[in-house]
Chains A and B, each alone.
Chain A
Amino acid sequence: MLRIPIAERRDWRATALEYGFHFHTLYGEPYWDESAYYQFSLKQIEHHIEDPTAEIHQMCLDVVDRVVRDEQLLHRFQIPQRFWDLIARSWYNRDPSLYSRIDLAYDGVGPAKLLENNADTPTSLYETGFWQWLWLQQQVDRGAVDRLADQFNSLQERLINRFQQLKLTMPDQQLHMACCKDTVEDRGTVQYLQDCAEQAGIASDFVYVEDIGLNSRHRFVDLKAEPIRWLFKLYPWEFMQREAYGEHLARCETRFLEPIWKTILSNKALLPLLWQLFPNHPNLLPAYFEDDPKAATLTHYVRKPIYSREGANISIVKDGEVVEQADGPYGEEGFIVQAYHPLPRFGDNHTLIGSWLVNDQPAGISVREDRSAITQDLSRFLPHIIL
């Protein structure tokens, strides 16, 4: 695993415009960064990332299977009681999922360590599945990257295939896609999924989450008052369950992507449960609920809210002192602690691997860098190759 500087494509901004990549610069800071790339060996990719990703995912599903039938654990996961049945039913039906991303700390040598699972609303999909693919294609064509170079990135192909499978379960149905207003990044992610769905032959339409309505038959509707029968929502289940329309989820007859059983996976309580069910697994870090007496065995740890996004409200504690902290609005549902495992450093950068799955198949990686030890939404995205 190497970080190799390379000249930017001189025309990449024009290319970004051409392909509709509009969030390469966020909050005035570069987000897409092609001044360097990461190089992995095939063995690193397959043995250290791809295989563990599939295995971690299966372990996570084991946790879901355990939690849905255990009231005490459902409480522990801070899932409102009125959704327990709905979640269990969705799990027993095996309501199909589309995708997820697990975040790994990996330095090219030791086993990759699971930091968390973004199973419900993962972003950076477009830049992974399409944009870094195009970067490699062009850099190889221009002779800037070895023409034997490959990339761990079958994301777009697998998404389209997955949509083709899902289409069979919802024949002739339109798929509505939703995200919040005022976020160009989320809109870009959803636009990409619309493109993939349409390439799979699914008719799609878009509605903002805030514009979703409710009709007199307890159906969610779009702005044209048409019922939403099938909805991809880039919006967290834990929010939906706590909002005004949450009470209609059981009756609305909308089929959701991701399915509601993912509430259990996109929850940091997953981490102590994994450690409890698979103690000392090489890809896991010790993790406990904060009020568990065993939490005291950790002297250097990361404290994470049960519900949080993008590193918010995370603090790193060493020997009782907070050494690094990220602010945010989360934490009222409680915290978990996870043994501290530093992200590998390349120069000044802390590097995080996002490992993607489409349904349960590993599908590629994204590499993000941050100047701080806690990766937040100002991190930069770098392309990678396999050589």
Chain B
Amino acid sequence: MKRSSRIDLARMRKTCGPSLRISARLTLVGAGTLALSGCSSDEAYIYQTVSECALDNPEALFQCQAAYEQAQAEWTQTAPRYRNRSDCEYEFGDSSCDVHQGLFIPLMMGFMLAQAGGDSDFDVDFRRPKPLTTSRNKRSPVYEKWTGARGWVYGDYYQNKVSVDKSVFKPLKGKAKVLGRGGFGKIAAGRSRGG
């Protein structure tokens, strides 16, 4: 046979008309994506130090070091800021805060790495580390819990493997700014394009 042996007609049917169909599709795809990021979770590993990371991931000392540094850099950008050391220490515990650009931020106490996708050389994804902290103050809601810059709790302090929403590993800050649109499509105006 020189033709497609089977075509799934049900999937080709578009009974609700073109524009409706297209917008319905977009809504569906959108909802699907949301549902995906809303419901599905990723396994993630939490390490307090580079050497703990390297113990868990032999042959990846360099990657652990880089991930730690990247997490540290992100932490100084995104960590909660306090005007006074006492306010910061009230939240996170004694000797748990540091000065950064004249303000006080809690120390980064660990970093979290997502489990890697199927084709990766490693079990974890070193490229998107997530900086974490915890609190030693019993009155804090994050006492002995792992928390990130946004204040979400990811697990208890003694846990080193947690289940988190996929969206957690999206960069917190720095969604790139859209500079403009319409840089393509001008030549086509007034010309036929097909071939």
Contacts and interface: CB of A to CB of B under 8 A. Distances in A.
| Chain A partners chain B | yes
Contacts of B29: 203-205
B96 to A, nearest CB: 34
A180 B193 contact: yes
A328 B190 CA distance: 10
A309 interface: yes
A156 B181 contact: no
A201 to B, nearest CB: 12
Contacts of B190: 329
B192 A225 contact: no
Contacts of B181: 210-214
Nearest to A198: B11
B195 A122 contact: yes
A186 B11 contact: no
B102 interface: no
B7 A130 contact: yes
A52 to B, nearest CB: 15
B22 interface: yes
B176 A215 contact: yes
Interface string B1-32: 11111111101111101100110011001001
Interface stretch (A13-21, A53-61, A106-114, A345-353): A13-21
A266 B4 contact: no
A152 B3 contact: yes
A209 interface: yes
Interface in B154-195: 175-188, 190-195
Nearest to A238: B187
Interface in B55-109: none
Contact residues of B: prevailing secondary structure: loop
Contacts of B187: 239, 242-243
A95 interface: no
Contacts of A120: 195
A225 B178 contact: yes
Given A45-B2, A205-B29, A266 B184 contact: no
A206 B26 contact: yes
Given A20-B21, A210-B184, A205 B12 contact: no
Interface string A168-190: 00011000000011011110010
A129 B7 CA distance: 10
A216 B175 CA distance: 9
Contacts of B13: 18-20
Given A130-B12, A206-B26, A377-B192, A243 B179 contact: no
Nearest to A248: B183
B34 to A, nearest CB: 12
Nearest to A180: B188
B185 A210 contact: yes
Q: Which one of B6, B26, B178, B183 has the highest number of Cβ atoms from chain A below 10 Å of its Cβ?
A: B183
Contacts of B2: 42, 45, 150-154, 364, 386
A101 B12 contact: no
A364 B180 CA distance: 41
Interface string A109-137: 00000000010111110000110011010
A127 to B, nearest CB: 12
Contact of B185 (A150, A153, A221, A243): A243
Given A211-B181, A214-B178, A215-B177, 17 more contacts: A18-B13, A19-B12, A20-B12, A20-B14, A122-B195, A123-B195, A136-B3, A157-B4, A157-B5, A203-B32, A208-B185, A212-B183, A216-B176, A235-B184, A239-B188, A245-B183, A377-B194
22 contacts: A20-B13, A20-B17, A45-B2, A121-B193, A122-B194, A123-B194, A133-B3, A136-B3, A150-B1, A153-B2, A171-B119, A199-B8, A213-B179, A214-B181, A215-B177, A221-B178, A236-B193, A243-B184, A244-B183, A330-B191, A364-B2, A364-B3
Interface of B: 1-9, 11-15, 17-18, 21-22, 25-26, 29, 32-33, 117-119, 175-188, 190-195
Closest 7 interchain pairs by CB? A245-B183, A20-B14, A123-B194, A118-B195, A210-B185, A215-B176, A213-B181
